[in-house]
Amino acid sequence: MPAKPLSIWHPFTQDALDPQPLHIERGEGVYLYTRDGRKLLDAISSWWVNLHGHAHPLIVEAIAEQARKLEHVIFAGFTHDAAEELGWRLRRILPQPLEHIFFSDDGSTAVEVALKMALQFWRNLGKQRKNKFVALEHAYHGDTVGAMSVGANSDFVAAFQELRFAVWRVPSAHCFRCPVGKRRATCDIDCAGPLARLLEERHDDIAAVIVEPLLQGAGGMIVHPVEFLERIRKLCTQYDVLLIADEVLTGFGRCGRMFACDLAGIVPDVMCLSKGLTGGFLPLAATLCTTSVRETFCSRDRSRTFFHGHSYTASPLGCAAAIASLKIFDSEPVFERIAVIEKIHGQRGPVLARHPAVADVRTIGTVMALELKTDDPGYFSELRPALYDFYLDKGVLLRPLGNVVYILPPYVITAEQLHCVYDVIAESLDRVPWLAAQRAGH
Ligand SMILES: Cc1ncc(COP(=O)(O)O)c(C=O)c1O
């Protein structure tokens, strides 16, 4: 045996500053149990993936059963029961026009697939010139190169600037910092003006507009009015540009309906799903598209084939987990649980909004975010590690995005547990100046 195991390199972690990772031995329901005997309430669904609680027995059993039957098979030239059944089940919940599914592995690959699909769609139609993308400011779509390109310019991507392809960026409906200086009560979604002008002038060059519908997650939990998404849909249709909805975070009930697009009553041309797709158990992703997109790829001309795939495409284990997760939507009162979370956000969010440390409260569905006042905003805010440590000490996993604290719980969280999370946040607010000062003194 070697003297030491490999040193494990953790994501988004600065070893020179951050504490050692916490060792989790097991999870159950909303709780994670550490090796040193502590119990943490997971208030962020473990990177926004978990829906029905950790180690939900139905999903555990479905994965085990699938593993006994077929753990993997190449998906080019082959198919299997789990993928077929998942296709049926997703068909029941997705907007009707999204009739085709392409599997991949995670949120970033779902986005890569969507971008490549959009580009090749226009190429297949002989419109090679339509090869540019439009993305929103504050966007986050993942860490692979295409996904990083359509993501916002930020410290996250600065080191990789040379790899990123050029993208046109337009304002997002960040009402708290309205990009066009309006107020929501009296505006006419004027922030969509730059997109309208860009599409009018350059639609012949544009393949697609990509958005995180209604909720920009990693960019700071920015909630958009539904009218903004409706307007984008109308503009894309008017100017013959594809609309890609990245529902990697928002899908499967996070925003209160199965998909955020449902809240705005719109259907995108392409939709990306991952995270909650398997209930948070296994990496699996899907990129959905309409028949008008799909049919341009079907031809006796092999060069029109969609040349994209991954070794684990449509992993039978992932598909089995996803089927089990969707069955839980039928067998357990999932949307009633979601309604309880929404109700508590509705009660407690406005109370926190009155706290002098709070600049803005944003809520949608199961997600509640507080932007805190600080001289040091942004992802690298010194408040972040101080708050993170404070919450962990109190037994709650909350991972602020800079000065934005948010709750995004598994749906099985009880009212009592959610109130506890709010109490811990309220306590942290009273101690924010203290926390910041303490950190600065380190
Ligand atoms: C909206 C959105 N798209 C894509 C991704 C990337 O997903 P993954 O981390 O699974 O690659 C994320 C991750 O947070 C996301 O929030």
Query: From ligand 1's centre to the CA of 188, what distance in Å?
Result: 30
CA of 164 to the centre of ligand 1 (A): 17
At 431, the pLDDT band (50, 70, 90 cuts) reads confident
Q: Tell me, in angstroms, the distance from the centre of ligand 1 to residue 91's CA.
A: 22
Q: The tokens 């709780």 sit on which residue?
A: 31
The closest alpha carbon to 289, from 231, 204, 208, 195, belongs to 208
What is the number of the ligand 1 atom nearest to the C-alpha of 147? Answer: 4
Q: Is the CB–ligand 1 distance for residue 150 below 6 Å?
A: no
What's residue 366's pLDDT? 98
CATH of 333-440, one of 3.90.1150.10, 3.40.50.300, 3.40.50.970, 3.40.50.720: 3.90.1150.10
Indicate which residue's Cα is closest to atom 2 of ligand 1. Answer: 141
pLDDT bucket at 438, cuts 50 / 70 / 90: low
- Determine the distance separating the centroid of ligand 1 and the alpha carbon of 146, expressed in angstroms: 12
Q: State the CATH architecture for 59-331.
A: 3-Layer(aba) Sandwich (3.40)
Q: What is the pLDDT of residue 60?
A: 98
Instruction: Find the mean pLDDT for residues 342-360.
Output: 96
For residues 373-398, average pLDDT: 89
Determine if ligand 1 sits within 6 Å of the CB of residue 249: yes
**Predicted confidence (pLDDT) per residue in 77-86, tens digit:** 999 999 999 9
Please list the residues that pair with 28 across neighbouring strands. 31
Residue ID of nearest Cα to ligand 1 atom 16: 249
pLDDT tens digit string along 310-334?
999 999 999 999 999 999 999 999 9
User: Which protein residue has the closest C-alpha to ligand 1 atom 7?
Assistant: 107
Residue 141 CA to ligand 1 center (angstroms) comes to: 5
Ligand 1 close to Cβ of residue 140 (< 6 A): yes
79-112 residue pLDDT tens: 999 999 999 999 999 999 999 999 999 999 999 9
Torsion of CA 130, 213, 170, 105, to 10 degrees: -60
- What confidence category does residue 379 fall into, taking pLDDT thresholds of 50, 70 and 90? confident
Is the CB of 151 within 6 Å of ligand 1?
A: no
Which of these, 220, 218, 213, 332, lies nearest to 273 by C-alpha position?
Answer: 213
Sheet holding 24-28, edge to edge: 24-28, 31-34, 39-42, 396-397
- Could you tell me if the CB of 360 is within 6 A of ligand 1? no
Ligand 1 contacts CB of residue 138 (under 6 A): no
Task: Render pLDDT for 201-255 as a digit per residue (tens, 0 to 9).
Answer: 999 999 999 999 999 999 999 999 999 999 999 999 999 999 999 999 999 999 9
Ligand 1 centroid – CA 212 distance (Å): 10
| 398/408 Cα distance (integer angstroms) | 9
Q: Is the pLDDT of residue 442 over 60?
A: no
Residue ranges of the domains in the chain?
59-331, 333-440
Place of tokens 């999903």: 59
The per-residue pLDDT for range 142-161, each reduced to its tens digit, is 999 999 999 999 999 999 99
Q: Which of 48, 103, 136, 140 to mutate to test the pocket of ligand 1 (most atoms within 8 A of CB)?
A: 140
Of 410, 12, 400, the residue nearest 217 (C-alpha): 400
105 lines ligand 1 (CB under 6 A): no
Residue 439 reports pLDDT greater than 70: no
Would you say the CB of residue 280 lies under 6 angstroms from ligand 1?
no
Closest ligand 1 atom to residue 48 Cα is 14
- What was the pLDDT predicted at 375? 81
Mean pLDDT of the region 259-283:
98
CA-CA distances (angstroms) from residue 36 to 13, 33, 42, 147?
A: 21, 8, 17, 38
Token readout for 280 is 């948070």
Which among 222, 249, 277 is the best mutation to test ligand 1's pocket, defined by most ligand atoms within 8 Å of the CB? 249
Q: Which of 47, 222, 248, 310, when mutated, tests ligand 1's pocket best, judged by the most ligand atoms within 8 Å of its CB? A: 248
SS (HEC) of the chain: CCCCCCCCCCCCCCCCCCCCCCCEEEEEECEEEECCCCEEEECCHHHHCCCCCECCHHHHHHHHHHHHHCCCCCCCCCCCHHHHHHHHHHHHHCCCCEEEEEEECCHHHHHHHHHHHHHHHHHHCCCCCCCEEEEECCCCCCCCHHHHHHCCCCCCCHHHHHHCCCCEEECCCCHHHCCCCCCCCCCCCHHHHHHHHHHHHHHHHEEEEEECCCEECCCCCEECCHHHHHHHHHHHHHCCCEEEEECCCCCCCCCCCCCHHHHHCCCCCEEEECHHHHCCCCCCEEEEEEHHHHHHHCCCCHHHCCCCCCCCCCCHHHHHHHHHHHHHHHHCCHHHHHHHHHHHHHHHHHHHHCCCCEEEEEEECCEEEEEECCCCCCCCCCHHHHHHHHHHHCCEECCCECCEEEECCCCCCCHHHHHHHHHHHHHHHHCHHHHHHHHHCC
At 380 the pLDDT is 79
Q: Compute the average pLDDT of residues 359-364.
A: 97
Predicted pLDDT of residue 441: 59
- pLDDT tens column, 128-139: 999 999 999 999
